[in-house]
């Protein structure tokens, strides 16, 4: 099981193309915007570190391909 910490301590998002994508992961301010939202299959965002010259906010693109998983019966 993955620790919930990878998702960050705070998030702000507007989940439509052009909407704001912002998350704080251990003090790293990740900023970008939503490029594609195809619920429930795909989310594509631009990604980068606020104030960083090497990986500036919105300078890369990350695609999340979502697949259903089986859940254990309670």
User: Is there a domain that residue 70 lies in?
Assistant: no
The Cα 23–Cα 36 span in angstroms is: 18
User: Is there a domain that residue 25 lies in?
Assistant: yes
Number of domains in the chain: 1
User: Is there a domain that residue 74 lies in?
Assistant: no
On average, the pLDDT of the chain sits at: 82
User: Is there a domain that residue 18 lies in?
Assistant: yes
Residue labelled with tokens 């702000």: 12
User: Is there a domain that residue 73 lies in?
Assistant: no
pLDDT tens track for 38-51: 988 999 999 999 99
User: Is there a domain that residue 72 lies in?
Assistant: no
pLDDT tens track for 16-44: 899 988 888 888 999 999 999 998 899 99
Phi, psi torsion values for 7, nearest 5 degrees: -80, -10
Q: How many Å is the Cα radius of gyration of the chain?
A: 14
The Cα 6–Cα 15 span in angstroms is: 19
Length of the chain counted residue by residue:
74
Residue 61 has pLDDT above 50, yes or no: yes
- Predicted TM-score (pTM) above 0.75: no
User: Is there a domain that residue 17 lies in?
Assistant: yes
Write out the residue range of the structural domain in which residue 37 sits. Answer: 4-65
Token pair, residue 69, equals 């998983």
Q: How confident is the model at residue 66 (pLDDT cuts 50, 70, 90)?
A: confident
């Amino acid at each position: 099981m993955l620790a919930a910490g990878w998702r960050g301590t705070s998030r702000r998002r507007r989940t439509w193309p052009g909407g704001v994508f912002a998350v704080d992961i251990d003090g790293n301010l990740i900023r970008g915007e939503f490029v594609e939202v195809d619920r429930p299959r795909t989310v594509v965002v631009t990604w980068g570190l606020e104030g960083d010259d090497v990986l500036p906010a919105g300078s890369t693109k990350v695609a999340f391909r979502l697949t259903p998983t089986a859940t254990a019966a309670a």
